Structures are given as C-alpha cells and as structure tokens.
Amino acid sequence: MSAITPIDRSELEFDHGSFDSAAFAQQALQNWQALAAVTDAALLGPEVVHEQVKKVCDEAARYRFASVLVQPMWVSTAVGMLAGTGVPVGVVLGFPFGASLTTTLRQEATALIRLGARELDMVIPIGQLKSGNHGAVQHTIHAVVSVAHHHGATLKVILETSLLTVQEKLRVAEIAIQAGADFIKTSTGFAKGSATVPDVAMMRGVVGGRCGVCGSGDVRTLAEVKGLLEAGANRICTSAPVPILRELGAD
C-alpha cells in the first residue's frame, strides 16, 4: 500500500475572476513539452491489458504528461511503473455511467488514493441530474471532493455533455463548482458524443477562473486540441497523446 503524500494544491487553484484562454492556449502550444504538461494520457477501455499499461506509463515518463488515467484495477500497477518519475496516476470513478452509490464512490476513492492515485475523475450521477435532483448531484460530488481533498488529491467532475441539454450543462457546471470540484470535464469518451469547442466555451463561461476545464473524449489531432484550448480548456485528456505531440515536433 502506498503512503499518501499530499500534492501542492496551490498549483491547481485559480482566482475567481476571468481565465485568459488565449494566453493559456498560446503558452500550451508553444512546444510539445508545454502541451504534454497539460495532457492526460488516458487508457480506459475494458479490454486493456498489462502491456498496454506499461506502454502508456513508459510514454508518460518520456514525454512528461500531466497524468496517466486508468481504470481502478490498474492503479497499483501504474503507480509502481511511474514511481520516481513525478507523473501522477489518475483514476476514473462511477465510470462511464455515473450510476454508482455515493457510499461506493467514497469507499472506492479512499481505497484508490491509498493505492497511490493522485487525481480522481468521477462521472456525475447523470440520471439524478436529468430527474431534477440537483441536491443529490451536489451531495454526491461533494462527498467525493471531501475524500479527495482530505488526502490532497484532485477531483475532476465528468459532465458527459453529449447527454445533457444546454440548461443541464449550465446547471451542473455551477453545481460542481459549488461542490468544490477542481476541474469540470466534458466527456467519458464512451457516450455518443465527445468534447466540442462550444461545450468547452460554455463550461469556461460558467466557471470563469474558479476551476479548471478539461476537454476529453475522442480528441485525436493537434487541431482539435488547439480549438479546445482556445475555447477555455486548460487540460486535455486523450487516448492518442503521442501522435498529437508528434504533430508539434516530438520525436
């Protein structure tokens, strides 16, 4: 079992004013190293095997990604492979349907942090949101936020924007902020849609500088990344990080 080492949360905090998307995008796109530093390498398919985990961890150590994002069963493996590299391991919760019990999410979050996960990516309770049970949604997010922040970990809240109406997107973005989320994130990549520029722009418009915005789900080209960053994303999550970096000159 890995010891729990709190991360420096000051690097994750934003002011409560505006967020300069153009300046951030320009900085992140100046070279492949800068882009890698704001990119999560995701490996989330149900058919993933050990050798694939090793490959993505080797790539993360080489290119210095913001994190490697895996399913719960691979957390301890990835933590061992990335030990000493400084690249954190992220893990998904309630994935991909957002249908887990709040108690289950809390227990799983605690267990995964103890195994070494430093970033938690949870799917909102989509059905509760669409039923208008906004208090239940906020309670669930806050429950996981409390666990994450108690141990110095980061929480990203996945909205699954392709399944939501405009009003639902606006409402749940604010709910996530009020619950204490560090990032709001567009998609799991397993629903019918993916990250879009309008959704990211809308999310950034709601949160301003209060938290991060992650563009995620079938992001595969540098042009797509550029559009999402310019719209307001300050983290990108993709299952194709290396080809994207190679478009920017990585070897």
Q: Which residues face 123 on adjacent strands?
A: 158
The Cα-based distances of 33 to 25, 184, 217 in angstroms read 13, 24, 22
Radius of gyration from C-alpha coordinates of the chain: 17
Q: What is the pTM of this model?
A: 0.92
Is the pLDDT score of 14 beyond 80? no
Percent of the chain's residues with pLDDT above 70: 93
Confidence at residue 17, expressed as pLDDT on a 0 to 100 scale: 64
Q: Of 5, 2, 11, 3, whose CA–CA distance to 182 is shortest?
A: 11
Q: Which domains does the chain have, with CATH numbers?
A: 13-30+90-247 (3.20.20.70)
Confidence at residue 218, expressed as pLDDT on a 0 to 100 scale: 87
- Alpha carbons 246 and 248: distance in angstroms, whole number: 5
Mean pLDDT of 136-159: 98
- The per-residue pLDDT of the chain, averaged, comes to 93
- Token pair 């080489």 in the structure block, residue: 62
Is the pLDDT score of 12 beyond 70? no
5 vs 144, which has greater pLDDT?
144
Mean pLDDT of 43-53: 97
CB atoms within 10 A of CB 14: 15
Mean pLDDT of 77-88: 98
Mean pLDDT of 18-36: 97
Is the pLDDT score of 2 beyond 90? no
Is the pLDDT score of 10 beyond 60? no
Residue 192: pLDDT band (50, 70, 90) is confident
CB 170 within 8 A of CB 206: yes
